[in-house]
Structure 1
């Protein structure tokens, strides 16, 4: 009977060893997956950094565009006023010429 009991214990130990080996393989696979995830996160961080730089550049360009637009609007207003003044002067001149 003790021989049978000993054989059962040995068989159970072999099963436990197999389970431990399987768990080690699973842990190894999980480590590989975690490493891949870390690499993906690093890549994403680099992409986000690049996007932030692009957005900063776009904001700077937008500021310049706004400044140029403001300048153009100011010049347009001056031209509009001068055009009005010239039109008024031309009308007066034509009126005086017609009287002659």
Structure 2
């Protein structure tokens, strides 16, 4: 399965999710990106594209705001692939508390087995 993790700037949350799950559940393919062109440019991180949304079988976003941004730019096309993880932008890359949030999230449980 192709799994895409999205956050605002692809700096902490989505990158952590991609790298963490790549290390424990290698039977899937993972990518991550940000949804803010401004912040992705500032930080030199990956910006989400329609190509990435097409590639993904499942898309996990961190906040409801991210669903709204995708819908604004692509309409309803990818909303059926989306799950909201409800992880606020308060964590650093690979912060233990962020990893625990990812591991304990019911929507991601299948990746931790």
Shorter-chain TM range is under 0.3
More strand by share: 2
Select the structure with the greater relative contact order (CA < 8 A; seq sep ≥ 6).
2
What is the TM-score with the length of structure 2 in the denominator?
A: 0.15
Query: TM-score normalised to the size of structure 1?
Result: 0.16
